[in-house]
């Protein structure tokens, strides 16, 4: 089954997702807010504040049909309007209590309303320009959902310091694992000339609190190797400037062997002084173009990318060498932990890919410099619909870490299937590693609070491209939104986050909110049911990873086997098997080791289980498989029906686009159901107890 390509649309036509401002029809509300929004006063008259004020002005114009004055003069009428200023400004300070000032962090903001007989003021205060832009979008959103101004009081600070989007964009304009059109940054091996779309993208990202973007693929090949040179840096500096206006730093993925490719050196050995010198010079040049450059993202010794192992050096040697070059400028090295043997022999049952990241990195804990961050995929394999949380979280107390989540739906339906990922991500973030006793949640590790790290946070592999709606499937916009919101505050409730997205994107019609919320919150569960439940994973077509193929990866080199035979399926990863469970805290080791205690949705990840094994429900494993696939494919009808009920209540184009994809989802879910059920039936010869049609 091939993934269906999105039809090309003109580059200049696109929606603005949750920032498509619609007119507020509520006259009563309008009357109440007018005094607060008829003027915008900026107290720090610089480029960034003016930009924030213009964002607010544009929004107010579109939402309320009034055009506020922006005033930057020293004479200010503080009776009516929105006041935007920095902490420290004496006018602003007059309105603030000591305690509230102390609560505003570097990227945070405060929104406070002063309403008296003579004054109607909204105060928007921050410590930095980034805080101002985040606060501006928050204020716009509050106004859009008609928040009660008399009680509006918000102090917000992001929990995690790094909230970065990773683009896997290639310079020819293609996107590795991209399902929403071509790159918005590159085409024909050049940086795109018009940055209009990049600017709108920056607006979208700032509105969800993102503060970093890596614009090129981690597989750095061909022309992309040269992005760190003056050949491309002038253009990259323009991209960086566009992002800077919205509080976002630019990062670049690099090829570890660049000193050879670009510098003409004979080696890229991280301990070779000439190699270090070359990187120092390169970094110096980058910062001369981009003074606030974020740093490098590195995929080394992974899937045919060069790295320190080539020279018999460790990953700490490699990362630290780059970190030393970046340190004087405040840059960081984000080093990926996705290192494993991708040339495994399927006959080898001793090697377990799931163990690889931990085995490669755990021994290096404490060896990385402070400006190195290890970027760890959420699970030990590769963004399957369900995997256990990587044991590296909580396994390396002395190493900064970021969690890598995949917003793009490589294994979760490629934006043809609706699969809202917020529910899965929330479960991951709430996982208690027990590394420092009860309460050592993944969210507390990656936000830095558990170990007091300076650099840590969230990386999300982008799901956007130049398609009309950015994400191919209109409802997949919710995944980008949710990634940003959870990175900002991993304690947020997924229901709340999803609901806010619906309100801002589709309005507050009760049925619309209710149905879309149901659709989103149930979609991952449904997708899992008709694809690979119980932690099985990998039954996809090799290469493009779309559609079912139960043995697609069974006899390959990638180390992703389920080893099904006629009696049993799954890999024994317990302490008596491959020993993977030993990488976890003893609390989890015991649970995962024990087939009775192991969470059932991960059963086949940790255990090799006979088809006749009875699950907690009393069903046999094989019957569960059949039921799950029949029910999952059936439940897609509920998604369709709930969407269909919204006909006429949603913009027609969006409605039709989603309907079309739901139709494809249904067809492809049936394909999954039939292929997987037939596979198991043929393997086992055990019929479905309910006698449903399984193709023999």
CA atoms within 13 A on the CB side of 73: 7
Backbone angles phi, psi at 251, to 5 degrees: -125, 160
Is residue 256 a contact partner of residue 307, using CB atoms and an 8 Å limit?
yes
Among 21, 36, 109, 168, binds ligand GCV (CB under 6 A): 168
Please tell me which residue in 235, 301, 352, 382 is annotated as part of the active site: 382
Pattern 366-405, binding to ligand GCV, x per CB under 6 A? ----------------x-----------------------
User: Whole-angstrom Cα distance, residue 423 to residue 611?
Assistant: 29
Please tell me which residue in 129, 235, 410, 593 is annotated as part of the active site: 410
Closest distance of CB 338 from ligand GCV, Å: 5
> 616 to each of 369, 599, 627, 677, 684, how far by Cα in Å?
47, 10, 15, 21, 21
Q: Which is nearer to ligand GCV, 300 or 316 (CB)?
A: 300
Backbone angle region of 246, left / alpha / beta, with phi > 0 → left and psi within -120 to 50 → alpha: alpha
The DSSP annotation for 362-383 comes to GGGTT-S-TTEEEEEESSSSS-
Active site annotation includes 359: no
Q: Which is nearer to ligand GCV, 253 or 479 (CB)?
A: 253
Closest distance of CB 560 from ligand GCV, Å: 10
Closest distance of CB 177 from ligand GCV, Å: 5
Window of 214-222, 501-509, 575-583, 687-695 that interacts with ligand GCV by CB under 6 A: 214-222
Is residue 248 a contact partner of residue 210, using CB atoms and an 8 Å limit?
yes
Window of 184-192, 215-223, 477-485, 659-667 that interacts with ligand GCV by CB under 6 A: 215-223
172 binds ligand GCV (CB under 6 A): no
Q: What three-state secondary structure class fits 668?
A: helix
Window of 96-104, 179-187, 216-224, 688-696 that interacts with ligand GCV by CB under 6 A: 216-224
User: Whole-angstrom Cα distance, residue 413 to residue 427?
Assistant: 20
Backbone angle region of 73, left / alpha / beta, with phi > 0 → left and psi within -120 to 50 → alpha: beta
Cα dihedral across residues 624, 629, 632, 637: positive or negative: negative
Q: What three-state secondary structure class fits 498?
A: helix
Closest distance of CB 377 from ligand GCV, Å: 7
Q: Which is nearer to ligand GCV, 109 or 185 (CB)?
A: 185
Closest distance of CB 461 from ligand GCV, Å: 7
Centroid of chain to Cα 44:
33
Active site annotation includes 410: yes
Closest distance of CB 689 from ligand GCV, Å: 37
Q: Which is nearer to ligand GCV, 299 or 355 (CB)?
A: 299
Active site annotation includes 269: no
Is residue 334 a contact partner of residue 459, using CB atoms and an 8 Å limit?
yes
Among 219, 229, 449, 575, binds ligand GCV (CB under 6 A): 219
Q: Bridge-partner residues for 252, per DSSP? A: 296
176 binds ligand GCV (CB under 6 A): yes
DSSP character at residue 122: E
DSSP character at residue 441: B
Closest distance of CB 358 from ligand GCV, Å: 17
Window of 80-88, 213-221, 244-252, 515-523 that interacts with ligand GCV by CB under 6 A: 213-221
DSSP character at residue 172: T
Is residue 608 a contact partner of residue 387, using CB atoms and an 8 Å limit?
no
Q: Which is nearer to ligand GCV, 242 or 560 (CB)?
A: 560
Is residue 5 a contact partner of residue 546, using CB atoms and an 8 Å limit?
no
Q: Most distant CA pair in the chain: distance in Å?
A: 85
Size of the site for ligand GCV (CB under 6 A): 10
User: Whole-angstrom Cα distance, residue 586 to residue 575?
Assistant: 11
Q: Which is nearer to ligand GCV, 303 or 565 (CB)?
A: 303
Residues 6+ away with beta carbon under 8 Å from 441: 429, 430, 431, 432, 433, 450
Window of 38-46, 98-106, 217-225, 573-581 that interacts with ligand GCV by CB under 6 A: 217-225
For 655, counting Cβ atoms within 10 Å of its Cβ (0-12 exposed, 13-18 middle, 19+ buried), the class is: middle
Pattern 601-640, binding to ligand GCV, x per CB under 6 A? ----------------------------------------
Report the site for ligand GCV in 263-322 (rule: CB under 6 A). Answer: 299, 303
174 binds ligand GCV (CB under 6 A): no
Closest distance of CB 406 from ligand GCV, Å: 8
Among 41, 338, 506, 672, binds ligand GCV (CB under 6 A): 338
Please tell me which residue in 303, 359, 565, 660 is annotated as part of the active site: 303
Q: Which is nearer to ligand GCV, 206 or 218 (CB)?
A: 218
Is residue 29 a contact partner of residue 149, using CB atoms and an 8 Å limit?
no
User: Whole-angstrom Cα distance, residue 14 to residue 30?
Assistant: 29
Closest distance of CB 545 from ligand GCV, Å: 7
Closest distance of CB 175 from ligand GCV, Å: 10
Rg (CA), the chain: 26
Q: Which is nearer to ligand GCV, 207 or 255 (CB)?
A: 255
User: Whole-angstrom Cα distance, residue 664 to residue 495?
Assistant: 26
Among 167, 177, 315, 562, binds ligand GCV (CB under 6 A): 177
DSSP character at residue 140: H
Q: Which is nearer to ligand GCV, 176 or 500 (CB)?
A: 176
Interacting residue ranges for ligand GCV, rule: CB under 6 A: 168, 176-177, 217-219, 299, 303, 338, 382
Active site amino acids: 303, 382, 410
């Amino acid at each position: 089954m091939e993934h269906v390509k999105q039809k090309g649309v003109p580059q200049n036509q696109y929606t603005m997702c949750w920032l498509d401002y619609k007119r507020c029809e509520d006259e009563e509300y309008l009357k109440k807010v007018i005094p607060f929004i008829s003027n915008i006063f900026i107290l720090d008259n610089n480029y960034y504040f003016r930009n924030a004020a213009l964002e607010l002005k544009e929004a107010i114009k579109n939402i309320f049909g009034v055009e506020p004055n922006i005033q930057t003069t020293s004479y200010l009428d503080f009776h009516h309007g929105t006041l935007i200023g920095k902490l420290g400004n004496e006018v602003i300070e007059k309105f603030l209590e000591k305690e509230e000032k102390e609560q505003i962090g570097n990227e945070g903001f405060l929104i406070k309303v002063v309403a008296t007989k003579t004054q109607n003021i909204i105060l928007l205060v921050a410590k930095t320009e980034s805080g101002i832009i985040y606060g501006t979008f928050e204020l716009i959103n509050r106004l859009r959902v008609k928040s009660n101004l008399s009680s509006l009081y918000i102090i917000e600070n992001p929990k995690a310091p790094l909230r970065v989007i990773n683009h896997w964009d290639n310079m020819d304009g293609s996107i590795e694992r991209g399902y929403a059109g071509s790159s918005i940054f590159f085409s024909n091996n050049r940086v795109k000339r018009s940055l209009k779309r990049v600017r709108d993208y920056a607006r979208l990202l700032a509105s969800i609190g993102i503060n970093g973007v890596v614009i090129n693929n981690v597989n750095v090949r061909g022309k992309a190797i040269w992005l760190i040179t003056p050949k491309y840096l002038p253009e990259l500096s323009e991209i960086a400037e566009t992002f800077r206006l919205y509080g976002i730093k630019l990062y670049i993925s690099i090829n570890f062997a660049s000193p050879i490719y670009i510098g003409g050196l004979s080696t890229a050995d991280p301990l070779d002084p000439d190699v270090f010198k070359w990187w120092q010079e390169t970094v110096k040049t980058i910062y001369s173009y981009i003074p606030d450059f974020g740093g490098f993202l590195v995929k080394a010794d992974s899937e045919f990318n060069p790295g320190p192992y080539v020279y018999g050096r460790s990953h700490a040697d490699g990362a630290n060498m780059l970190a030393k070059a970046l340190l004087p400028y405040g840059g960081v090295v984000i080093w990926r932990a996705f290192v494993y043997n991708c040339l495994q022999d399927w006959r080898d049952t001793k090697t377990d890919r799931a163990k690889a990241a931990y085995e490669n990195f755990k021994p290096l804990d404490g060896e990385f410099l402070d400006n190195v961050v290890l970027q760890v995929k959420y699970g030990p394999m590769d963004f399957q619909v369900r995997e256990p949380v990587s044991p590296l979280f909580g396994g390396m107390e002395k190493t900064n870490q970021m969690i890598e989540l995949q917003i793009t739906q490589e294994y979760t339906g490629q934006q043809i299937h609706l699969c809202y990922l917020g529910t899965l991500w929330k479960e991951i973030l709430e996982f208690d590693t027990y590394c420092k006793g009860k309460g050592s949640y993944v969210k507390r590790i990656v936000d830095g609070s558990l170990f007091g790290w300076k650099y840590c946070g969230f990386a999300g592999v982008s799901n956007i491209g130049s398609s009309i709606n950015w994400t191919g499937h209109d409802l997949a916009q919710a995944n980008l939104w949710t990634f940003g919101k959870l990175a900002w505050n991993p304690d947020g409730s997924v229901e709340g986050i999803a609901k806010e997205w619906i309100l801002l994107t589709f309005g507050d019609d009760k049925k619309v909110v209710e149905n879309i919320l149901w659709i989103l919150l149930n979609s991952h569960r449904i997708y899992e049911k008709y694809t690979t439940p119980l932690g099985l994973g990998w039954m996809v077509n090799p290469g493009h990873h779309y559609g079912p193929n139960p043995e697609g990866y069974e006899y390959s080199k990638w180390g992703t086997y389920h080893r099904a035979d006629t009696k049993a399926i799954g890999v024994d990863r317990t302490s008596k098997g491959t020993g993977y469970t030993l990488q976890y805290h003893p609390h989890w080791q015991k649970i995962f080791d024990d087939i009775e205690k192991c969470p059932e949705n991960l059963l086949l990840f940790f255990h090799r289980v006979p088809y006749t094994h009875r699950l907690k429900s009393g069903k046999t494993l094989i019957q569960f498989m059949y039921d799950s696939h029949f029910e999952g494919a059936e439940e897609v009808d509920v998604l369709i029906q709930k969407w269909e009920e919204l006909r006429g209540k949603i913009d027609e184009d969006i409605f039709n686009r989603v309907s079309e994809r739901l139709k494809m989802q249904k067809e492809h879910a049936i394909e999954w159901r039939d292929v997987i059920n037939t596979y198991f039936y043929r393997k086992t010869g055990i019929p479905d107890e309910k006698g449903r049609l399984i193709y023999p």
